[in-house]
């Protein structure tokens, strides 16, 4: 049976354009931009580095990386979806800084020789792949000795949101992630995966996305959760709508808070 996770087979989704637009909306949200940059500094990504991003999507991180590594560096993005790569090519064309190359490929079998990159990253990707340890081992293989492998994921067990009906909120949020993801708590497991792949000096950065105004990306995230909850038979359409209306009322009362933990983990390849 195909996975219900749309990010695992993006090209097969009827709403692929909407999902790609969602990546750009998330990437442009100021709190998300800060969160991403804190992680890239934590890795750290340095000027002149050759960097690979696995599961690069529409190129949100690739564009940041190109500016960070500068003209002496290079950035390669790999993704298994041809649709998202077409969008990334268009969106990355005006990017300043390093040379950018975008390639089709599967993280379970990266199309690169060993020891090629100074830093290899996967950002909100590991929770979507079928076999996380195989992907992380591949990332380690293509990284040079002394280079860094960095992973960052949300953790859907660490989502907090204000709503007048907390029981319904749990039923929808927890129920949906259990249906979609084999590994909804991916974030907290990233340091263990790096060690299992043989990386050394593993460090963890726990960070948090926060939104107190119901930003467009958060609104879309909650609307998509409501849609899935109906699709999975967790609630009926009227209950899902009542749940979404509850957020509108919470915002109007000045009481809206949404937070989600992100875990970033980095390990070094032995020399
Ligand atoms: C949620 S998006 C993250 C995109 C980007 N890293 C960002 O933060 O904006 C996940 C991406 O991983 C890609 N992906 C999923 N499974 C993959 C695999 N096995 N190999 C390569 N890419 C994969 C998807 O096509 C999608 O573009």
75-123 residue pLDDT tens? 999 999 999 999 999 999 988 788 899 999 999 999 999 999 999 999 9
Per-residue confidence (pLDDT) for residue 182, from 0 to 100: 84
Q: Is 263 in contact with 152 (CB distance < 8 Å)?
A: yes
Q: Is 55 in contact with 9 (CB distance < 8 Å)?
A: no
33-86 residue pLDDT tens? 999 999 999 999 999 999 999 999 999 999 999 999 999 999 999 999 999 999
The best mutation among 17, 53, 80, 106 to test binding of ligand 1, ranked by most ligand atoms within 8 Å of the C-beta, falls on 80
Collapse the DSSP code of 24 into the 3-class scheme (helix H, G, I; strand E, B; otherwise coil) and give the result: helix
Nearest residue (CA) to ligand 1, atom 13: 55
The pLDDT > 70 percentage for the chain reads: 100
Q: DSSP string of 163-223?
A: -S-HHHHHHHHHHHHHHH-S-TTHHHHHHHHHHHTT-EEEEEEEEEEEESS--HHHHHHHH
Q: pTM value?
A: 0.96
Residue 91 in contact with ligand 1 by CB distance below 6 A: no
Cα of 138 vs centre of ligand 1, distance in Å, is 15
Residue 77 in contact with ligand 1 by CB distance below 6 A: no
């Amino acid at each position: 049976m195909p996975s219900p996770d749309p990010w695992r087979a993006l090209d097969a989704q009827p709403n692929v354009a909407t999902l790609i637009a969602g990546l750009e909306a998330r990437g442009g949200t100021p709190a998300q931009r800060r969160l991403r940059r804190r992680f890239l500094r934590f890795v750290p990504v340095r000027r002149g580095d050759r960097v690979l991003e696995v599961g690069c999507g529409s190129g949100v991180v690739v564009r940041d990386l190109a500016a960070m590594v500068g003209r002496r560096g290079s950035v390669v993005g790999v993704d298994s979806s041809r649709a998202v790569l077409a969008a990334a090519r268009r969106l990355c064309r005006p990017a300043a800084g390093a040379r950018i190359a975008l390639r089709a490929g599967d993280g379970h079998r990266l199309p690169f020789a060993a020891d090629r990159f100074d830093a290899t990253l996967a950002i909100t990707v590991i929770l979507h792949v079928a076999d996380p340890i195989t992907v992380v081992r591949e990332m380690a293989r293509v990284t040079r000795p002394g280079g860094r492998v960095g992973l960052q994921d949300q953790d859907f067990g660490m989502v907090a949101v204000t709503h007048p009906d907390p029981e319904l909120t749990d039923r929808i949020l927890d129920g949906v992630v259990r249906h979609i993801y084999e590994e909804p708590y991916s974030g907290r497991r990233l340091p263990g995966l790096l060690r299992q792949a043989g990386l050394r000096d593993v460090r963890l950065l726990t960070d948090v996305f926060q939104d107190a105004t119901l930003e467009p990306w958060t609104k879309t995230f909650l609307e998509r959760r409501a849609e899935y909850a109906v699709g999975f038979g967790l609630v009926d359409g009227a209950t899902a709508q009542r749940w979404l209306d509850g957020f509108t009322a919470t915002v109007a009362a000045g009481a809206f808070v949404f937070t989600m933990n992100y875990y970033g983990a980095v390990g070094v390849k032995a020399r």
